[in-house]
Structure 1
Amino acid sequence: MSANKKKNLNSMEEDPTADDSDSSSEDDDDDEPHPDAYTGNEEVEIDFEGRAPTDPDCHGISQLLQRVFLRAPINTMQMADMIIAQNYVGSVICQCEPDGAESDMDDDMVEEGTIFGITTVINMTAKKDIACIEQLRGYIIQRAEKNAPDSVLTHLRDVLGNEGRPVGFLINERFINIPAQISVPLLENLHKEVLTAKQKGMQFNFSYFIMIVKFYRKEARKGKPAEDTYTNAEEEVICSKAVNSFEYSVADECDVGMSGDWLEGDATLTPYRKIILLDAKDLPHLIDDIRNYISGV
């Protein structure tokens, strides 16, 4: 991968929802480095860059995928290996290498080699016989059978069973507190790389994208409607463009530190997942919508 793929993407900012109390658990130290732990009363800025995934990123990518799937029997290490093998498509988010003298703050707060996010797509149709993709397909259908209306279940079965209209599993996962602005260059880069791969005859000519979105719900009570908070803010926009979707609670699957979100300490909020189906040709327009959403247009 050429060096020009590296770019300064954004800065980590203090969580605007945080109060003066420390709501994080000491058990989080056993999980991957968490940006919430880096933000106290002072703003912390960390510069990021996107680059192609490499072999040492495998464990970090697997951990990020586990945040999506939680207890689901999906081999995230195998999926991470697949992502790295197609490193001409997709990006990981990592900390920019400091210019000049290294910062003591960086040494104390961020473990070297930490992967802060992953944005990529996997061809679920072409790779349907690989174990982790078989597991993913089974997981989606199983969840749909339990939670989706019959029309959505039928549509998903048709989409996943039609090898003439390939489906891509779109992954957009990152640590909490990394602002939504970072999603625009990452998705733009992904779109360009998919187009380049298609022009070279590679199997990236998708008809649909399937995506698993994380959000929390404050359930309706005392006459107030339910309120949803998306872990990645731009995914509220993405969900609004879905051609089909269904959702389900994962409250029974989340351990402390497992989901890696600042909302997990709030007992009034229930963790959910939403599986959405997107028309692949809408991706460029979707990126424009996200850009407008972020800029307040």
Structure 2
Amino acid sequence: MSASKRKNLNDMEVDQKDDDSSSSDEDKDGLHPDAYTGNEEVQIDFEGRTPVDPDTEGISQLLQRLFLRAQINCNQMADLIIAQNNVGSVICQVDDDELESETDDDMVEEGTVFGITSVVNLSTKKDQPCVSQLRTYLLERAKSYAPEPVLEQLSNLLDIEDPPHLGFLINERFINIPAQICVPLFDNLKMEIDHAKSKKMKFHFGTLLLLVKFFRKEAKKGKPAEDNYTNAEDELLSEKAKFSFEWSVASECDTGMSGHWLEDDAVMTPYRKLLALDAKQFPQLIKDIQSFINNE
């Protein structure tokens, strides 16, 4: 792997919140926690690099948190992402023998994948079983939860054969990694897509689909419902989407958590939302995310 495929993402401060309401190994989606336990802060250096074969399990686990109990082969999708060695990055801890000992103990497993940013062509890869499963999953959710005009738009996008194609944008990371990290990752992805297109590779997209995670604090005592996005930048992207639809995944979470939890006596319900983004606007969206994160 060339040095250009490694990118230091600056010092990221991981804030380890102590959550008394969480019993053990499960996070709010009923899965393993996205972050460490404890109430201290740990300073860790992260870098983005090209995914490699040993990253398969880590990428698969991140995808499983996104898709929950969907019938999608996440291991196969991870292999497909890795096979695109020209496009995409994983977030990893900087390999530095001089890091403080507290970052090298049991809190962080060696080789942990902290995040994945990539894109998969849903048009040209539709014969791949995992992509076919993803397409079916999205269409079935649209038939159940999307308004008719949105279902029609998504169906038309899934029928695209000729470029520009339909892409599935992946932007997953551990929950306590700050949103600032997505800007260099998206910038790098944009450059890699442009480079791939210059080499006549099939990364010419017209629309990018992005599946995002959020929790809804249900309306109570006259207060409106409030949405809290797992990745802060997804709030902005939701506003910029050409169309979107959402659904609760409470029933898809582990029964121990039932998909609901309480915050200030209000019920928080896990949701997924599918966004359709104009691929031509991706460079501007990156700039908008930077301004959004900086509260500009």
Q: Normalised by the size of structure 1, how large is the TM-score?
A: 0.91
Matches within 5 A, 1:49-60: 49-60=47-58
Q: Is the 8 A contact 2:31 2:254 kept in 1?
A: no
Q: Is the 8 A contact 2:25 2:32 kept in 1?
A: no
Q: Is the 8 A contact 1:67 1:258 kept in 2?
A: no
Question: What residue in structure 2 maps to residue 14 of structure 1?
Answer: 15
Q: Deviations over 1:10-35 (max 9, x none)?
A: 413215xx46x533332349976742
Question: What residue in structure 1 maps to residue 280 of structure 2?
Answer: 281
Question: What residue in structure 2 maps to residue 90 of structure 1?
Answer: 88
Are 1:229 and 2:228 counterparts?
A: yes
Q: Which runs of 5+ in 2 are unaligned?
A: none
Are 1:239 and 2:238 counterparts?
A: yes
Q: Distance in 1 between matches of 2:31 and 2:221?
A: 37
Q: Distance in 2 between matches of 1:284 and 1:34?
A: 28
Q: Is the 8 A contact 1:52 1:91 kept in 2?
A: yes
Q: Is the 8 A contact 1:27 1:256 kept in 2?
A: no
Q: Deviations over 1:119-171 (max 9, x none)?
A: 00001101011111111111111000000000000010011102123101000
Alignment size in residue pairs: 290
Question: What residue in structure 1 maps to residue 291 of structure 2?
Answer: 292
Question: What residue in structure 1 maps to residue 249 of structure 2?
Answer: 250
Counterpart amino acid of residue 268 in structure 1: V
CA drift at 1:221:
2.0
Question: What residue in structure 1 maps to residue 173 of structure 2?
Answer: 174
Q: Deviations over 1:255-286 (max 9, x none)?
A: 27999x9x966571000000111110010000
Are 1:136 and 2:137 counterparts?
A: no
Q: Is the 8 A contact 1:217 1:229 kept in 2?
A: yes
Q: Distance in 1 between matches of 2:284 and 2:99?
A: 42
CA drift at 1:113:
0.4
Counterpart amino acid of residue 235 in structure 2: E
CA drift at 1:104:
4.2
Question: Is the helix fraction higher in 1 or 2?
Answer: 1
Question: What residue in structure 2 maps to residue 3 of structure 1?
Answer: 3
Q: Distance in 1 between matches of 2:96 and 2:25?
A: 30
Flag the 1:77–1:3 CA change in 2: closer, same or farther, 3 A.
same
Q: Deviations over 1:25-47 (max 9, x none)?
A: 3234997674241x41x221111
Q: Is the 8 A contact 1:70 1:258 kept in 2?
A: no
Flag the 1:205–1:276 CA change in 2: closer, same or farther, 3 A.
same
Counterpart amino acid of residue 231 in structure 1: T
Q: Is the 8 A contact 2:48 2:90 kept in 1?
A: yes
Alignment identity in percent?
59
Q: Distance in 2 between matches of 1:277 and 1:145?
A: 16
Q: Distance in 1 between matches of 2:198 and 2:256?
A: 42
CA drift at 1:101:
6.3
Question: What residue in structure 2 maps to residue 35 of structure 1?
Answer: 35
Q: Distance in 2 between matches of 1:161 and 1:234?
A: 29
Q: Normalised by the size of structure 2, how large is the TM-score?
A: 0.91
Q: Which runs of 5+ in 1 are unaligned?
A: none
Q: Is the 8 A contact 1:28 1:256 kept in 2?
A: no
From 159, 177, 183, give the equivalent of 1:161: 159
Q: Is the 8 A contact 1:90 1:120 kept in 2?
A: yes
Q: Distance in 2 between matches of 1:265 and 1:52?
A: 39
- Aligned to 1:142, the other structure's residue is in SS state helix
Q: Is the 8 A contact 1:159 1:167 kept in 2?
A: yes
Q: Is the 8 A contact 1:27 1:257 kept in 2?
A: no
- Larger mean CA deviation between 266-275 and 96-105 belongs to 96-105
Counterpart amino acid of residue 70 in structure 2: A
CA RMSD in angstroms, aligned pairs only? 2.3
Q: Is the 8 A contact 2:122 2:165 kept in 1?
A: yes
Q: Distance in 1 between matches of 2:246 and 2:31?
A: 27
Q: Is the 8 A contact 1:33 1:114 kept in 2?
A: no
Q: Distance in 1 between matches of 2:184 and 2:76?
A: 27
Flag the 1:80–1:47 CA change in 2: closer, same or farther, 3 A.
same
Q: Is the 8 A contact 2:261 2:267 kept in 1?
A: no
Question: What residue in structure 1 maps to residue 45 of structure 2?
Answer: 47
Q: Deviations over 1:160-199 (max 9, x none)?
A: 1021231010000001010000000000000000000000
